Structure 1
């Protein structure tokens, strides 16, 4: 074990969080290993806000579509079309997007290896040892002064090294990537996202149709065990007229819905991205928050490596929650209340007809913070919510 190569940091998982953390550390001059499984593509609608593109210097060439409106469909099939004024929702294909991020990390100086993490151990001096199987299935191992677990909602690093990581709350997500027909169905628009708030398609979350240029992501999510997500997607494809479109990929995975209370082990391991639970409730948006979490993980690990003070690791969660905790708390309340049954979903979609709600929702999405510039609009929204809750306004 004394012959093993030692890195300043080993990052397990090469999605947006892991790749961003590896890039940050490599740019700071630390020796970094980025370890990622072969062929891993997370099931994801692929939505990214303009702020992500600017903040993380992502080229426009990675966008496969720009969404300029959203359609929200109620249980009654009534729908609300919401224009996205002053911006857009970008769409990326995760296979291409994630690989570009991993290559940026390599260009910055990180070493890339393909492999599957197996165990977290320590040597006789207490140094972390990461054991994995390489691309050919052979056992391999490296040492690390610090470890970043960015290996998903059921993080093996988290389960083995961070107390409480196995308590992460999540929904299951499943989607099918299909080829966009040469002549799409009449109710399909290449610049519109459709979100279905209907119990038969998702009993406690939502189903979606997200255009990706020459492909379409059609999926659903739920925390209800036993619910057939495959059948729900089959039914949705039939409803929108894409049941005969060519299916390119079928993917499923858990998606976290609440940040963990603790992201580090107080010694040398820190979680990021889905492993830390940073996917926004209600919307399920995760790419931007994963990249923010990855950057904060990189900053905190860099501080730890320089100072030797393990308390620096806790700074990642503290800074993340200071910046985004209020958004997560508000969205969590929304999901628990409005998504609980179809009667409330009907009212939720009805509320979204309101222009104040529409503008503030997408302002918050594009700017990634609760909008405080229009207090009167917030008052009006609060009063309208009360009216819907009390039944003074019919859905």
Structure 2
């Protein structure tokens, strides 16, 4: 193949794209892979910066040197939650969470991908055209399979998807001095005034915290001033955050179907955001890995890449996504959230189930659901 012709091109070099490239290289060592991104690294990305334990496990299974990736970053064991009507729970998580600014995390993932000999190139994709033997990007880059890991505003999705994202949230985040009463803990506080909506504060280890606020987009447009006012109302005493960035969160409860064909969408591009918590890095890494393996399988063993990816996603995440979508359908009932936090307050195992459900691929277990009730 020539310099601009590859077996797989991954569009987007964030966690989903890096996971996809690593999965292709792992499943098909002889396949040629190119990763393109419109930005140079390191670059910032609006995010809560929390990396669940399950993410480190997935990265390790893909061959990433997780010690190198997380070197010098902090681990946080405590999580405090406040429900829309004021129910509180504060416990130690079963597995510690890493809090890593995306400017660091994403750049280190790109370094790991390059260390494997995978080419990473700065390139902004503008046009996508199907060809007889694959996909052509911008009239010059040719691939047999393309994986779109290019985020919530995905060019690949706009060009190829049969449906648009359904439920979408809007969030703003920045960095501010850590509030003394929240020192050392991850904190999420919800509100019933604009439910579903919440603010967060996650310490990053240098006296500052990643702070932000997000809510489901409704019929009324949300301005930057609206988001900031609601952030300050939920985190009183917070200094004005620096480095503010806003971003859209296409929730998995409104994700488009995975079609047949040589274009696979992963991460935010596939609307893989937990509708309960807004967490997306676990979904990004898992869906990127599934897309990469599906691409390699189609190229090495035959069959349709999209069909392989659809089956693999259903097997790996199907039950979890059904459970999160079911909860999202009842999301307007804050009593459900209140009851869930009460269950976690009463039972460490229920709290662990709640964390796994919100940060990874946990389920609404009988232990958790069995404790749901609508009174104190």
Once the two structures are superposed, residues 299-320 of structure 1 have per-residue CA deviations (whole angstroms, 9 ceiling, x without a partner) of: 111112223432x432223222
1:51 pairs with 2:74: no
Choose from 324, 331, 340 the match for 1:331: 324
CA RMSD of aligned residues (A): 2.9
Choose from 185, 198, 202 the match for 2:191: 198
Task: Show the counterpart of 1:176.
Answer: 173
Task: Show the counterpart of 2:119.
Answer: 111
Give the Cα separation in 1 of the matches to 2:39 and 2:352: 41
Task: Show the counterpart of 2:269.
Answer: 275
Paired residues of 1:257 and 1:284 also in contact (CA < 8 A): no
1:255 pairs with 2:250: yes
Paired residues of 1:198 and 1:345 also in contact (CA < 8 A): no
Give the Cα separation in 2 of the matches to 1:296 and 1:25: 9
Flag the structure with larger Rg: 1
Task: Show the counterpart of 2:37.
Answer: 36
Task: Show the counterpart of 1:136.
Answer: none
Aligned residues: 362
Shift of 1:296: 1.3
Task: Show the counterpart of 1:74.
Answer: 83
Task: Show the counterpart of 1:244.
Answer: 239
**Which sections of structure 2, spanning at least 5 residues, go unmatched?**
61-65
Task: Show the counterpart of 1:102.
Answer: 110
Trace 1:1-395 onto structure 2 (pairs within 5 A).
5-27=4-26, 28-38=29-39, 41-57=44-60, 58-59=66-67, 61-62=70-71, 64-84=73-93, 86-122=94-130, 125=132, 127-131=134-138, 141-162=140-161, 164=162, 166-180=163-177, 184-190=178-184, 192-200=185-193, 202-214=194-206, 215-219=208-212, 220-224=214-218, 225-228=220-223, 230-237=225-232, 239-241=234-236, 243-258=238-253, 260=255, 262-264=257-259, 266-310=260-304, 312-337=305-330, 339-342=331-334, 345-355=337-347, 356-362=349-355, 368-370=361-363, 378=366, 381-385=368-372, 387-388=373-374, 393-394=375-376
Once the two structures are superposed, residues 95-153 of structure 1 have per-residue CA deviations (whole angstroms, 9 ceiling, x without a partner) of: 21111112222222221111211011245x5542101xxxxxxxx73111111111123
Shift of 1:335: 3.0
Once the two structures are superposed, residues 6-36 of structure 1 have per-residue CA deviations (whole angstroms, 9 ceiling, x without a partner) of: 1111111111111111122235232111111
Task: Show the counterpart of 2:63.
Answer: none
Give the Cα separation in 2 of the matches to 1:51 and 1:179: 27
Cα gap change, 1:206 to 1:298, in 2 (>3 Å): same
**Which sections of structure 1, spanning at least 5 residues, go unmatched?**
132-139, 373-377
TM-score, normalised with respect to structure 2: 0.84
